[in-house]
Amino acid sequence: MADLTAALARRFAEKLAAAGLTDPGAAVAACLDDRLAFSRPSPHEELLAGLVDRLGVGCVLLAPPAQPHRTILEFLAGREAPAIRPRDCETRTFFHDIPVIAEPTVEAAAAALSRRKGAYLPGVGILAHGALSPEQAFVTVSSVAFAGFVKFFADFLAASRAGTVDAAYGAAFAAACRNLPPPPTVVPHLARGPFTDRDTMLAAMAQAGRATVELGLVDSVFGNISYNLDGVLAISQTGAALDDLPGAMDLVPLDGSSCAGLTASSELAAHAALAALDGRQAILHGHPRFAVIMSMDCEDLATCPRRERCHVDCARERYAGATPIVPGEVGCGPRGLVHTMPPALAADGGRSGVIVCGHGVFTMGAHDFGDALAALCAIETSCRARYFAALGIPTETP
Amino acid sequence: MEHPTAHILFCDLSAGACRREPLDPELARQAPGGRALAVALLAARPRAVWDAPDAAVVLAPGALAGFDLPGVSFAALAGTNPHTGGVLTVAVPGGLGRALARLHLAAVVVSGRAAAPTALFLDVDGARLLPLGAAAGQGTSAVMASMPAHDGALVAGPAALAGSTLAGLWADGLHPVGPGGAALLLTAKNCFAVAVLAQGEGPVPADPVALAGARAAMERLVAAAPALAGPCGFGRYGTAALLDLTAGRRMLPTRHFRETVFEAAGRLSAPGLFARLSPRAAGCPGCPTPCRHVTANGTVLPDGDAWSHLTALLGLADPDLTVAAYAACRQAGLFAPGAAALLAGRAEAAGRDLAPDALLPALAALVAEGPSVSPSAMAVKGVALPAFDPRGAYGLALSLAVGTSGPDAWGGLCLGHELLRKPVATDRFSFAGKARAVFLGENAAAVAASLGGCPLYGLAVGLEEWALALSAARGEAVGAAELAGLGKRTVLVERTINARAGLGVADDDLPARFFAEPGSSGEGIVVAPLPREEFLAAQAAYYRLRGLDADGRPAAEAAALESPWPI
Ligand SMILES: [Zn+2]
Ligand SMILES: [Zn+2]
């Protein structure tokens, strides 16, 4: 049992590195079954053991973030303590804020983690707990890194427009930019459609999901994908890892004749609405970072009375280049993106993509995922260029 | 601050008198409402058999039930379990909890026995006992119709009058309140209905801005939960939506749990039924995903457990017959899943499926059998298993076995991670980590039941959000960990009541069939018998986490340490 638990801990520590969230070997996972097991020896063992005990959970992850997340989170923690308030929509749905732990004691860390899923301990890393499985903690680490990234760059642009960037922010920004992974350029070839049988279709979806994660256009635990095969929508399940889709897709009849979509992505309704409006078969949804950041850049940000609610009800018609930006929350609520995104993407005979404000991008392909992935990539690349252009930085390495 | 629900009403039906007492502030702090307060009050009383006049039934609104929060209007009903002699707590949906809270009542404690069938009516003028006359024997609709105008009502029917251990209650004429036997707690006192009218607004939160923030967070999470707000979710089809899922996962209890796949499941998909009957949605006050559905002629459509057990468990596949059978159960005040399980057991004993035209007469005959009905063989603590085969989800199997009041599919929140992938998916065919999952899930479910939350919303709303809401209502910071402690204490108090009644490890077990016989494997899914050794190991691990001894009883020190109440 103890060996299995240690293996589980190692698997999740390695998963964090594979996702680029930590440097290889940097993360520590503490998992409890009958006994507590660590993924590796660490000077923080006592802290983690104390947290597992105090929180009564099965797993705690300590993830010293890889660059540029380290620079970003250290800066935000210093500036925003006692808590970092995420600005992107997805993180705001599931997290209230990210507490900054004042000192590396069990007491302080337990106080933060007893009220939130994850927290940041300056100089050490992201701490997250999983009551049910290490998977929960992994999702939290990924969300904290994403939320920090988006907030850091979005706030910097806003501060730059307002002329309030100080020396520390400038230095942190330069350091973060030096550590940015290069923008995706080469889009891999994907299986060509139309797909006519389920197995081929499901394999193509799994391939496209993997490619989207590998290009950095979504973190594996987010995003979703679907394909309309003769009125049956194959769609990734809620919480499915986009780079590990086999076995995690539902087949949902679009005529609503069954409840097979009960476990489907929280955006099933949006995918179905889109399938009804637009004949293209393939839908891809990712969270490319600069597209999300640029969707939150509004010229009215200082004066707009709804500036705290852009992501749910912005009155302006907005674009990033030719790509429309629409408001909308996750899921099917009255302010859900199900009401805004599908008509925008299907407009004008079918657009290449739509950005949901503060959230992510939806794209389509006529019969396969090749065009959908290319469009997702192109939107991110152009948003990234726009971001630096808006700062007056022609090439992004300062 | 002033506690929003600051009084307890003690009603002695023998004397026909009620008195109002302020709630002890220390008790209110430790057990803020709902299930926690109900079992605390119950545990503080001397033990009594369930049908003795000195036995008490407690009805307690959730601590936040008076506020305008989504899915938060529930009360808890607690009393002596007629099946076990231990504790029985049930969630009461609808308007009753909210109305009680808005009358500033933290709990209503009913004892004694009225001379004739009676209803208890509560409004701003106090409590009144209304003679029911012949209405008590005429069906739940007749009882409802005899009530004065109200915001919420809980009624029993002819099955309870006959003394049946299958008798359930109906809330607002919409929601079945089970398990079978729950109605007897009230009707042993000759009380066949409780109705509450509360004019006016809810309590004023200490921090209205923070409460609005908590409400927005809850709404956002509900909207983002496919099983609640999605196009196939409970907000669209009620819990009957689950039948397609249990069928697809090969864990649909079929023919008295002999099979786990029903060949006619495709005919029982909820959307087909809804397309034909075009029902309107109905539900609890302010619920954004109302899960009950009513046809134009007033027929209430079955919930998931009833829909599944009145079809697959009996080998029946006629949707209209099922709707009619459910309507008969509603009028009779029979808890439909338990009644169906009993008939399925009799069909197995007879060696053939129940004939479709025998279903309605058989249900009527069950009512007439009254107290002589023997419990279903597919039961835990005398209560029939709900519509999920335990061989298809191991955490769920453990939670069904250890539930203090009997098997409750939502009691350990395992349906979330094992079937509905919330908050993350876990391996449903493994006991690894499940003891802890059940322990934490039960604690969270007990918190929700103490604050007034819908059990289904456990799929979206967690302790973090409950802490935000309670802090805002009270104006003092409450943390998620503190709330988890409340849930833990509540379950421990229930365990203590059970232990005093002599319940032990043998009562925390599943029927032998699940360990001996496989389910229906196929389509790449192997449904093996539950591994007995691993089940027992998980049960033992669960006991350790709860601080129970090997017989499932609270260790003396643990009880003294963890429970601040006079138990
Ligand atoms: Zn998304
Ligand atoms: Zn705006």
* One-character DSSP codes across B390-453: GGG-HHHHHHHHH-TTS--TTSS-HIIIIIS--SS---TT--TTHHHHHHHHHHHHHHHHHHTB
Count CA atoms closer than 13 A to B32's CA, side-chain side: 27
The whole-number pLDDT of residue A259 equals 96
Q: Is the pLDDT score of B7 beyond 80?
A: yes
- Report the interhelical angle of A69-80 vs A167-178 (nearest 10°): 160
The whole-number pLDDT of residue A191 equals 97
Query: Is A268 close to B219, i.e. CB distance below 8 A?
Result: no
Nearest CA in chain B to A139: B424
**For residue A10, what are its two tokens?**
């190692």
CA–CA min distance B104, chain A (Å): 29
**For residue A241, what are its two tokens?**
């890892």
Say if residues B447 and B484 touch (Cβ distance below 8 Å).
yes
**B contacts of A239 (beta carbons < 8 Å):** 421-425
The whole-number pLDDT of residue B566 equals 43
Task: Give CA B40 to chain center in angstroms.
Answer: 18
pLDDT digits (tens, 9 = 90+) for B342-379: 999 999 999 999 999 999 999 999 999 999 888 889 99
CATH number for the domain spanning A7: value is 3.40.225.10
Q: Are residues A283 and A236 in the same domain?
A: yes
Give distance in angstroms: CA of A164 to centre of ligand 2. Answer: 20
Domain that residue A91 falls in: 1-178
Q: Is the pLDDT score of B563 beyond 60?
A: no
Q: What percent of chain B has pLDDT over 70?
A: 97
Count CA atoms closer than 13 A to B46's CA, side-chain side: 4
Out of A178, A207, A234, a domain closes at A178
Query: Is B424 close to A132, i.e. CB distance below 8 A?
Result: yes
Q: Which of B318, B157, B304 lies closest to B237, judged by CA? A: B304
The whole-number pLDDT of residue A133 equals 86
The whole-number pLDDT of residue A398 equals 43
ipTM of the complex: 0.89
Nearest CA in chain A to B214: A96
Q: Which of B106, B117, B194, B201 lies closest to B150, judged by CA? A: B194
Residue A115 inside a domain? The answer is yes
Q: Is the pLDDT score of B532 beyond 80?
A: yes
d(CA B205, CA B208): 5
The whole-number pLDDT of residue A221 equals 84
Q: Is the pLDDT score of B3 beyond 50?
A: no
Q: Are residues A123 and A220 in the same domain?
A: no
pTM as predicted: 0.94
Query: Is B232 close to A264, i.e. CB distance below 8 A?
Result: yes
For B269, the closest of A4, A240, A258 (CB atoms) is A258
Residue at token pair 């203590």 = B496
Whether B264 has its CB under 8 Å from any CB of chain A: the answer is no
Q: Are residues A7 and A37 in the same domain?
A: yes
3-class secondary-structure state, position A36: strand
Q: Which of B476, B543, B474 lies closest to B204, judged by CA? A: B474
pLDDT digits (tens, 9 = 90+) for B54-104: 999 999 999 999 999 999 999 999 999 999 999 999 999 999 999 999 999
pLDDT digits (tens, 9 = 90+) for B418-455: 999 999 999 999 998 899 999 999 999 999 999 999 99
Residue A183 inside a domain? The answer is no
Best B421, B470, B478, B491 residue to mutate vs chain A (most A CBs within 10 Å): B421
pLDDT digits (tens, 9 = 90+) for A91-134: 777 778 999 999 999 999 999 998 899 999 999 999 999 988 89
Backbone Cα Rg of chain B: 22
The whole-number pLDDT of residue B200 equals 73
pLDDT digits (tens, 9 = 90+) for B399-411: 999 999 999 999 9
Strand ranges, E, within B289-386: 292-294, 379-380, 383-384
Name every residue whose Cβ is closer than 8 Å to that of residue B194 and which is 6 or more positions away in sequence: B59, B96, B108, B119, B120, B121, B122, B153, B154, B186
Instruction: Classify residue A184 by its DSSP letter.
Output: P
For A259, the closest of B244, B421, B437 (CB atoms) is B244
d(CA A2, CA A82): 37
**B contacts of A34 (beta carbons < 8 Å):** 541
Residue at token pair 């061989």 = B391
Query: Is A330 close to B272, i.e. CB distance below 8 A?
Result: no
Closest ligand to Cα A239: 1
Say if residues B300 and B321 touch (Cβ distance below 8 Å).
no
Best A115, A262, A338 residue to mutate vs chain B (most B CBs within 10 Å): A262
Q: Is the pLDDT score of B280 beyond 70?
A: yes
Q: Are residues A131 and A243 in the same domain?
A: no
For A261, the closest of B225, B230, B421 (CB atoms) is B230
Residue A139 inside a domain? The answer is yes
For B480, the closest of A94, A114, A269 (CB atoms) is A114
Q: Are residues A139 and A238 in the same domain?
A: no
Q: Name the domain count of chain A.
A: 2
The whole-number pLDDT of residue B567 equals 36
For B229, the closest of A259, A260, A332 (CB atoms) is A332
**B contacts of A55 (beta carbons < 8 Å):** 481
**A contacts of B436 (beta carbons < 8 Å):** 32, 57-58, 131-132
The whole-number pLDDT of residue A124 equals 97
Residue A187 inside a domain? The answer is no
Q: Are residues A254 and A161 in the same domain?
A: no
Where do the H-state alpha helices sit in B132-278? 140-145, 158-161, 182-187, 208-223, 226-229, 234-237, 242-248, 270-277
**For residue B371, what are its two tokens?**
């107290």
Query: Is A260 close to B248, i.e. CB distance below 8 A?
Result: yes
**B contacts of A263 (beta carbons < 8 Å):** 226-227, 245, 419-421
Give distance in angstroms: CA of A313 to centre of ligand 2. Answer: 8
Closest ligand to Cα A266: 1
**B contacts of A94 (beta carbons < 8 Å):** 221, 224
Name every residue whose Cβ is closer than 8 Å to that of residue B84 and which is 6 or more positions away in sequence: B381, B382, B406, B498, B501, B503, B507
Say if residues A207 and A190 touch (Cβ distance below 8 Å).
yes
Closest ligand to Cα A298: 2
pLDDT digits (tens, 9 = 90+) for B536-557: 999 999 999 999 999 999 987 5
Closest ligand to Cα A218: 1
Q: Are residues A341 and A299 in the same domain?
A: yes
Q: Are residues A133 and A210 in the same domain?
A: no
d(CA B121, CA A226): 54
Query: Is A238 close to B217, i.e. CB distance below 8 A?
Result: no
The whole-number pLDDT of residue B29 equals 87
Say if residues B431 and B450 touch (Cβ distance below 8 Å).
no
Closest ligand to Cα A158: 2
Buried b (16+ CB within 10 A) or exposed e, A91-104: bbbbbbbbbbbeee
Nearest CA in chain A to B540: A34
- Strand partners for B21: B8
The whole-number pLDDT of residue B372 equals 87
Question: What is the average per-residue pLDDT within B467-476?
Answer: 95
Residue A184 inside a domain? The answer is no
Nearest CA in chain A to B420: A263
**For residue B174, what are its two tokens?**
């919409």
Q: Which of B199, B83, B115, B14 lies closest to B502, judged by CA? A: B83
Nearest CA in chain A to B289: A333
Please give the single-letter amino acid code of residue A242: L
**A contacts of B221 (beta carbons < 8 Å):** 93-94
Say if residues A35 and A58 touch (Cβ distance below 8 Å).
no
For B424, the closest of A111, A139, A272 (CB atoms) is A139
Residue A189 inside a domain? The answer is no
Name every residue whose Cβ is closer than 8 Å to that of residue A139 and which is 6 or more positions away in sequence: A221, A239, B424
Whether B271 has its CB under 8 Å from any CB of chain A: the answer is yes
**A contacts of B482 (beta carbons < 8 Å):** 114
Closest ligand to Cα A362: 1
Out of A131, A146, A178, a domain closes at A178
Give distance in angstroms: CA of A222 to centre of ligand 1. Answer: 6
d(CA A119, CA A108): 11
3-class secondary-structure state, position B210: helix
- Torsions phi, psi of A322, nearest 5? -95, 0
Nearest CA in chain B to A257: B271
Q: Are residues A240 and A375 in the same domain?
A: yes
Query: Is B426 close to A239, i.e. CB distance below 8 A?
Result: no
Residue at token pair 């026995």 = B113
Q: Are residues A93 and A155 in the same domain?
A: yes
Count Cβ–Cβ pairs < 8 Å, chain A vs chain B: 155
Count CA atoms closer than 13 A to A198's CA, side-chain side: 11
CA–CA min distance A125, chain B (Å): 22
CA dihedral of A263, A265, A269, A274, whole degrees rounded to 10? -140
Residue at token pair 């009512």 = B367
Please give the single-letter amino acid code of residue B342: L
Q: Are residues A163 and A219 in the same domain?
A: no
Say if residues B194 and B154 touch (Cβ distance below 8 Å).
yes
- Report the interhelical angle of A134-162 vs A370-390 (nearest 10°): 40
For A96, the closest of B419, B423, B464 (CB atoms) is B464
d(CA B27, CA B132): 35
pLDDT digits (tens, 9 = 90+) for B298-338: 999 999 999 999 999 999 999 999 999 999 999 999 999 99
Which of B 479-518 lie inside 8 A of A, CB atoms?
A: 479-482, 484
Backbone Cα Rg of chain A: 21
**For residue A185, what are its two tokens?**
């350029």
The whole-number pLDDT of residue A91 equals 72
**For residue B351, what are its two tokens?**
């060696």
Whether B41 has its CB under 8 Å from any CB of chain A: the answer is no
Residue A398 inside a domain? The answer is no
Best B269, B420, B436 residue to mutate vs chain A (most A CBs within 10 Å): B436
Nearest CA in chain A to B276: A257
The whole-number pLDDT of residue B561 equals 47
Query: Is A56 close to B467, i.e. CB distance below 8 A?
Result: no
Q: In what order do the strands lie in the sheet with A249-253?
A: A249-253, A232-236, A224-229, A282-286, A360-365, A353-356, A323-326, A318-320
Out of A144, A178, A212, a domain closes at A178
Say if residues A272 and A228 touch (Cβ distance below 8 Å).
no
**For residue B102, what are its two tokens?**
């808005």
Task: Assign 3-state DSSP to chain A and report helix, strand, coil percentages, each to 5.
Answer: 40, 20, 40
Query: Is A55 close to B481, i.e. CB distance below 8 A?
Result: yes
CA–CA min distance A299, chain B (Å): 27
Task: Assign 3-state DSSP to chain B and report helix, strand, coil percentages, each to 5.
Answer: 45, 15, 40
When the pLDDT of each residue in chain A is averaged and rounded to a whole number, the result is 92
Name the stretches of chain A with pLDDT < 50.
398
Residue A382 inside a domain? The answer is yes
Q: Are residues A101 and A31 in the same domain?
A: yes
Question: What is the average per-residue pLDDT within B379-386?
Answer: 97
